[in-house]
A and B are shown apart, each in its own frame.
Chain A
Amino acid sequence: MRDRNVNADAIAAMLPLLPATFHILVALADEDRHGYAIIQDVAARTDGSIRLSPGTLYRSIQRMLEDGLIVETDERPAPEDDDERRRYYHLTALGTAVAKAEAARLMDLVRMARARGLAPR
């Protein structure tokens, strides 16, 4: 999936990301997941403070598919873990680039806040 031509302008145009979008990108960074797994991953990482609703999740997924940040993947896990209703989503090169750019943007913000004593060093 590295065939996508990643264009800096296209990435910049997508920032800043909606929090839900960023969380989904992060959830897919290490492995392909299906919808419910994404919800669980986000909840686990945020100690349950962010729990994506199905509506928000799939609306975000629809948009991210259209924007090319993620794709549906045909690779399925071992049959015993699989459920044919589930669809798995995979981060694209563009998705990775956008997630990195957003992380960098957030780090810049934190750095600025830190310089003024607004965040712990």
Chain B
Amino acid sequence: MYRWLLRLYPASFRNEYGREMAAVFARERRDTRTAPGMAALWLRVIADTCVNAAAIHWDILMQDLRYTLRTLRRTPAFAVTAVTVVTLGIGATTAAFSLADFVLIRPLPFLEADRLVRVSEERPGLPRMELAPANYRDLKQMAASFEALGAYRGLSVNLVGARQPLRLQGAAMTADVLAALAVRPMIGRPFAAADDVDGAPATALVSYALWQEEFGGDPSIVGRPVRLDGEAYTVIGVMPPDFNFPSRGAQLWTAMRFVPADFVDRNHNYLQGIARLRRDVSVDAARTEMSMLAGRLQQQYPKENEQTGVSVIRLRDGVSPQSRTLLVALLGAAVCVLLIACANLTNLLLARAIVRRREMAVRMALGAGRERVLRQLLTESLVVTGTGGVLGLALAAATLPILSRLVPTALPIADTPAMDLRVVGFAIALTMVTGVAFGIVPLLQHHRDRAGEGLREGARSGGSGREGMRSALVVAEITASVVLLVMCGLLLRALWTIQAIDPGFRLEHTLTARTSLPMPKYETLGARTGFYDRVLSEIRALPGVSSAAYISFLPLGDMRGGIFPVGISGRVESRREDNVAFLRYVTPGFFQTLGIPLLQGRDVRDADRLDRQPVAIVSASFVAQFFPGQEALGRRFDFAAATREIVGVVADVKIRELTGVSEPQVYIPHRQLPDRTYEWFAPKDLAVRATGDPLALVSAVRAIVQRADAEVPLSDIQTLEQLVDGDLASRVTQVRVLGAFAGVALVLGGIGIHGLLAFAVSARVREIGIRMTLGARRADVVAMIAKRSLSLSAVGVGAGIVLAYVSGRWLQSLLVGVSPADGTTFAVAAALAAATAIAGSLRPALRAARVDPVTVIRLE
């Protein structure tokens, strides 16, 4: 029993005094006769052991720490290299982990978020379609799986009543949405059922940021009247700061207030469904119920709901597969860097352990127990990794804001992942594991040493097995850096490919902005025409402006939809998606302003009015689709509620994305947009082509819009280049991040190979000296080292190429057609890795060449 207690002491102490302590204890026990006395003795002994054992462990730790700091100070190069290596490894992994944790793992910031699901319609080929209001209403009435089922749609309105007219993004929602999310406003009240009926007074909730920035954080905001797109609303509350629903940056929410007309068309799908599952209902059970209900609706409305199902997915699973791939790739890259760092650390510690074999042997010979030496080494490894861990955490915190650009916008979460306890815990765990696991490797070497061996002068360092292990580590480092380089290279090629894509319009010297026209003020053509004419004529009169025009939505801007069916007499198209085109209304001069070539016919004119023949300008792809090989001018087709005549053909532009094909486009003169029809499409995106710097025009344009109508907000001011670059921003970040990882890996690989060869050379100085005495020339010695370096890198590069090809195939969805086996990328990556290996071996090779045989032999 007492012997067991003694095990709490450090082995060195126990070996020294254990027997005597046991003897003392035995005497005391003999002297104690009564049972209570015996109990007291045991209690005393247990307390004594705990206190003293802890104190002795602490003493040893302090001793080891002092010793470690002394030795590290004596070898600053080792200390700095090892800490740097660990910092990079842990920093990269921690940053990548906090991002992946934030986006993929952590529950969404809602109460019991795993019970939140998205409810959508699905049709063959369209897995997640919006809900039609009538279907939503019927599902809601019949569904038993949900505690609450709500619906919302995106909202974009002009707000008047704050400091300045503003363009706001948010959502119109039914009263059940907040109930389903289980979120309440921080001040005021949520939407009640009574707010959400036809004819109810209009109510709105504002975001915390909007409240702070535009209403000065005024607590009396509740009850305040504001005008949204000209309609009077009452603010009923402020949502909490972390409420990012339906997506990041939402500023305003209104009650849905369906009117009876909304429920007429079951093919007008625009609602997002969100529901909270009942506690006892699983997602699968809800799915089963929904498909049963969808079947019932199909029977009831066989025409409208043909082949229409209902899908239920967890809100958390809303991350696109591409974002997921990207994050997993990032995590993979980070783990690669960490492994390289660990391999390097092991190599450094091994080399150090071998160098210090004599020191260790001396200490053991002087009576230090093996356990004390092991403890000392472990302390040293933990000091190095601990320092690296702290620095790595700081590095991760510093890089997170950059990485946060990779957070997909579609999730209801904030944009910057927070460094919280989980992340810090992760970093600490990582550091400990690295420190212990890789601190132990050199310890194992020690175990194999017989105590006497290290004492022999000139003992040959590093047996062949040990060399083999160190070489394997260096090969692994080179392999990992090749994989990272190839990944980065492939993504870079993909980025270049996209950047080289011609969007179909000229990007330079063009200013863009949005002037969202408040409705119903501008629901008539007369009102709109007055505004456009005034704004455009004044802008065109500005010095430095060569042309200006309006369009419904700029290509590659924030609105990339707007597809309508095309009807051509005599043409029957089976597939709906083959029979549609983009609708855009434009003012005269739009094609000239964006530099879109007019291939045939004419531009729209002011004379194209409602009382004349409806006309359209179509894109080349439209002609290819609907009138292949035919003269398009003068042909007619049904589109957007009129039969229109083609009066012009323009070149294609990219509307949805740079990487996609150019879909058919139809441009209609804005003067042929009737009152109170397709108001959403009334032109509001302004484009101004400048002769010089387009941003120099901003204040003048702002003044003109302000004079024309002080209630029209001017938003989204940027150059056309910026607008298109926004599309590439996340890709640019991807490349930079992976590039940084690859760079770090390369540097670490270089350090690794340098360390290995430098060590090998110093260990073989004697051999080299003898060879040179026996007639080897310096060139032969250098060749011997170079051969070693090259054979290691050849193995590493070879393995790297194979692994990179496998991982590249998995990245394919991000590569926009760049082959995962892209030869150039592989060649460059291999060359870079080989060059680093050679650079790393230069110094050791030179050192070997400078070995003076005479000195070496004399030392013998």
Q: Which residues of B contact A55 (CB under 8 A)?
A: 9, 21, 48-49, 51-53
Docked CA distance A52–B55 (Å) = 16
Q: Check B16 against A35 for contact (C-beta < 8 Å).
A: no
What CA separation (Å) do A85 and B19 show in the bound complex?
A: 7
Is A54's CB under 8 angstroms from B16's CB? no
- Complex Cα distance, B13 from A57, in Å, reads 12
Q: Kindly state the separation between the CA atoms of A113 and B648 in the bound complex, as whole angstroms.
A: 112
Nearest-CB residue, chain B, relative to A57: B24
Q: Are A58 and B20 in contact (CB under 8 A)?
A: yes
Q: Is B25 engaged at the interface, CB distance under 8 Å to the other chain? A: yes
B21 and A58 contact, CB distance less than 8 A: yes
C-alpha spacing A62/B48, complex, angstroms: 16
B51 neighbours in A (Cβ, 8 Å): 55
B17 and A85 form a contact (CB under 8 A)? no
Q: Tell me how far the C-beta of A38 lies from the nearest C-beta in chain B, rounded to whole angstroms.
A: 10
Residues 1-48 of B at the A interface (beta carbon under 8 Å): 9, 13, 16-17, 19-21, 23-25, 27, 44-45, 48
Pick from A53, A61, A62, A63: contact of B45, CB under 8 Å: A53
Q: How far is the CA of A63 from the CA of B52 in the complex (A)?
A: 12
- Residues A87 and B48 in contact, CB atoms below 8 Å apart: no
Complex formed: what's the CA distance from A85 to B48 in Å? Answer: 22
In the docked arrangement, what's the CA distance between A60 and B35, Å?
30
**Number of chain A residues whose Cβ lies closer than 8 Å to a Cβ of chain B:** 18
| A-side contacts of B48, CB under 8 Å | 53-56
A24 CB to nearest B CB, Å: 14
From residue B22, how far is it (CB to closest CB) to chain A in Å?
8
The answer to whether B25 and A54 have CB atoms under 8 Å apart is: yes
A59 interface contact, C-beta 8 A: yes
Number of interface residues of B (CB under 8 A): 21
Q: How far is the CA of A87 from the CA of B17 in the complex (A)?
A: 9
| A54: chain B residues within 8 A (beta carbon) | 21, 24-25, 45, 48
CA A62 – CA B25 in complex, angstroms?
18
Hey, which chain B residues are within 8 Å of A85, CB to CB?
Answer: 19-20, 23
Is B20 a contact of A53 with CB atoms below 8 Å? no
| Bound Cα distance A34, B19 (Å) | 13
Residues on B with beta carbons closer than 8 Å to the beta carbon of A57: 24
Chain B residue numbers with a CB within 8 Å of A56 are 48, 52
Given contacts A53-B48, A61-B17, A62-B17, contact A36 B27 (CB under 8 A): yes
Complex contact B24–A62 (CB within 8 A): no
Residues of A close to B27: CB separation below 8 A: 36
Distance in Å: Cβ of A73 to nearest Cβ of chain B: 15
B433 interface hit (Cβ, 8 Å)? no
Kindly list chain A residues whose C-beta atoms are within 8 Å of the C-beta of B13: 58-59, 62
B17 touches A36 (CB 8 A): no
* A56-B48, A62-B13 known; A87+B20 contact, CB < 8 A: yes
Q: Does A69 contact B (CB under 8 A)?
A: no
B19 proximity list for chain A (CB < 8 A): 85
Q: How many A-B residue pairs have CB under 8 A?
A: 49
Interface flag for B56 (CB, 8 Å): yes
CA distance A58 to B55 in the complex (A): 12
Q: Decide if A86 is an interface residue (CB 8 Å cutoff).
A: yes
B20-A59 in contact (CB<8A)? no
Give the residues from 49 to 96 in chain A that come closer than 8 angstroms, CB to CB, to chain B: 53-59, 61-63, 83, 85-87
User: B20 contacts which chain A residues (CB < 8 A)?
Assistant: 34-35, 58, 85-87
Instruction: Flag if A35 contacts B49 (CB, 8 Å).
Output: no
Interface string of A8-31 (1 = CB under 8 A from B): 000000000000000000000000
Q: Is A98 part of the contact surface with B, judged by Cβ < 8 Å? A: no
- Residue in chain A with minimal CB distance to B56: A59
Nearest A residue (CB) for B63: A66
Contacts of B55 on A, CB cut-off 8 Å? 59
Whole-angstrom distance from the CB of B784 to the nearest CB of chain A?
Answer: 49
Please give, as numbers and ranges, the residues of chain B lying within 8 Å of A99 by CB-CB distance. Answer: none
The distance in angstroms between the C-alpha atoms of A85 and B776, with both chains bound, is 63
Assembly CA distance A54 to B2 (angstroms): 11
B residues near A61, Cβ cutoff 8 Å: 17
Residues from chain B with Cβ under 8 Å of A59 in the complex: 13, 52, 55-56
| Complex: chain B residue closest to A87, CB-CB | B20
CA distance A66 to B19 in the complex (A): 20
Q: In the assembly, what is the distance between CA of A1 and CA of B454, in Å?
A: 34
What is the chain A residue whose CB lies nearest that of B12?
A62
User: Which residues from B are CB-within-8-Å of A83?
Assistant: 23
- Contact in complex: B23, A36 (CB < 8 Å): yes
Closest to A34 in B: B20
Inter-chain contact A58/B17, CB cutoff 8 Å: yes
Which residue on A lies nearest to B21, using beta carbons? A54
**Which residues 426-451 of B sit at the A interface, judged by CB distance below 8 A?**
none
A42 sits at the interface (CB 8 A): no
In the assembled complex, which residues on chain A have CB atoms less than 8 Å from the CB atom of B16? 62
Please, which residues of chain A bring their CB within 8 A of the CB of B52?
Answer: 53, 55-56, 59
CA distance A70 to B653 in the complex (A): 93
Measured CA separation A69–B51 after assembly (Å): 23
CA A8 to CA B602, docked complex, whole Å: 107
Asked whether A35 lies within 8 Å of B53 as measured between CB atoms, the reply is no
Contacts of A34 in B (CB 8 A): 20
Within 8 A of A (CB), among B44-72: 44-45, 48-49, 51-53, 55-56, 59
Contact residues in A for B53 (Cβ distance below 8 Å): 55
Cα–Cα distance between A69 and B55 once the two chains are bound (Å)? 20
Q: Across the interface, name the chain A residue whose C-beta is closest to B19.
A: A85
Closest to B17 in A: A58
Q: Which residue of B lies closest to A58 (CB)?
A: B17
Q: Considering only CB atoms, which chain B residue lies closest to A86 in the complex? A: B20
Nearest-neighbour CB distance to chain A for B323, whole angstroms, equals 59
Q: Which residue of A lies closest to B9 (CB)?
A: A55
Q: Per a CB cutoff under 8 Å, which of B24, B44, B49 touches A36?
A: B24
CA A86 – CA B52 in complex, angstroms? 21
| B590 CB → nearest A CB, Å | 89
Q: In the complex, what distance in Å separates the CA atom of A39 from the CA atom of B44?
A: 15
Determine the chain B residues whose CB is within 8 A of the CB of A53 once the complex forms: 44-45, 48, 52
In this complex, what residue of A is CB-closest to B55?
A59
Q: Which single residue of chain B is at the shortest CB-CB distance from A56? A: B52
* Cα A35 to Cα B27 with chains together (Å): 11
B224 → chain A closest CB, angstroms = 72
Distance in Å: Cβ of B747 to nearest Cβ of chain A:
44
- In the complex, which of the residues A34, A54, A83 has the most CB atoms of chain B within 10 Å of its own CB atom? A54
* A39 contact set on B, CB distance < 8 A: 24
Q: Which residue of A lies closest to B48 (CB)?
A: A53
User: Are A35 and B56 closer than 8 Å at their CB atoms?
Assistant: no
In the bound complex, CA of A62 to CA of B51 (Å): 16
Query: Measured between alpha carbons, how far is A36 from B44 in the docked complex, in Å?
Result: 16
Pairs A–B under 8 Å by Cβ, sample size 24: A34-B20, A35-B21, A35-B23, A35-B24, A36-B24, A53-B44, A53-B48, A53-B52, A54-B24, A54-B25, A54-B48, A55-B53, A56-B52, A58-B17, A58-B20, A59-B13, A59-B52, A61-B17, A62-B13, A62-B56, A83-B23, A85-B19, A85-B23, A86-B23
7 A-B pairs closest in CB distance:
A55-B52, A53-B48, A58-B17, A54-B21, A55-B48, A54-B24, A36-B24
Task: Name 8 extra pairs, CB < 8 A, besides A58-B20, A58-B21, A59-B56.
Answer: A53-B44, A55-B52, A56-B48, A56-B52, A58-B13, A61-B17, A83-B23, A86-B23
Point out residues on A near B: beta carbons under 8 Å.
Answer: 34-36, 39, 53-59, 61-63, 83, 85-87
Please give the residue numbers on chain B whose beta carbons come within 8 Å of chain A beta carbons, in ascending order: 9, 13, 16-17, 19-21, 23-25, 27, 44-45, 48-49, 51-53, 55-56, 59
